[in-house]
Amino acid sequence: MAAAELTQRNQYLSFTLAGGDYAVGILQVKEILQFEGVTRVPSVPPSVRGVINLRGAVVPVIDLAVKFGLSATPVTNRTCVLIVEASLDGERTVMGVIADAVREVLELGPEDIEPAPAFGTQVRVDFLMGMAKAGKGFVLLLDLDRVISAGERELAAQLGESPAPSAAMAAATAAAAPATEARPR
């Protein structure tokens, strides 16, 4: 394979969500955590499941299923949180994204990626970078920078960047009290 071809191939982390297969650029994924619960925060968009304490930092957790108009992601033993970095108004912001399960890392080149379908998906077309062939099916490639909305941007700014802790931030970081929503054993 020529060096020019190698530079065009990118890696994507694939995961399942509400029966569909999705993927995000691997460079946006900072880590994968087993879902152990979130602390709910009042007055946030419905797609924000809550926040987690990640080594002392408050990280909002988004349920993409709700964002896509589906029912909330059920918590199972395979449910996980992808800690991702998205560009929000030009600044990098760390957020959590709930997934039913992580699948695999895909290495894709331009020849593997088709344009996003204009119909038949549960996801708005502007949230998609395209779709890729994976095995016998397809994986929808998400553009996380577009998926994260203004509501989540405001929440991330309020929780993660505010110089004075808000009541929500204080509640989220207070204590090592058990989370209000926990994973089943």
| Residue 115 DSSP SS3 | coil
Question: Of 85, 79, 84, 95, whose CA–CA distance to 37 is shortest?
Answer: 79
Give Cα separations from 98 to 62, 85, 108 (angstroms).
6, 14, 23
Domain ranges of the chain: 10-173
Question: Of 17, 23, 27, whose CA–CA distance to 69 is shortest?
Answer: 17
pTM beyond 0.95: the answer is no
User: pLDDT (tens digit, 9 = 90+) per residue, 138-152?
Assistant: 899 998 888 876 556
CB–CB of 32/25 below 8 Å? no
User: pLDDT (tens digit, 9 = 90+) per residue, 48-72?
Assistant: 999 999 999 999 999 999 988 888 9
* CATH code for residues 10-173: 2.40.50.180
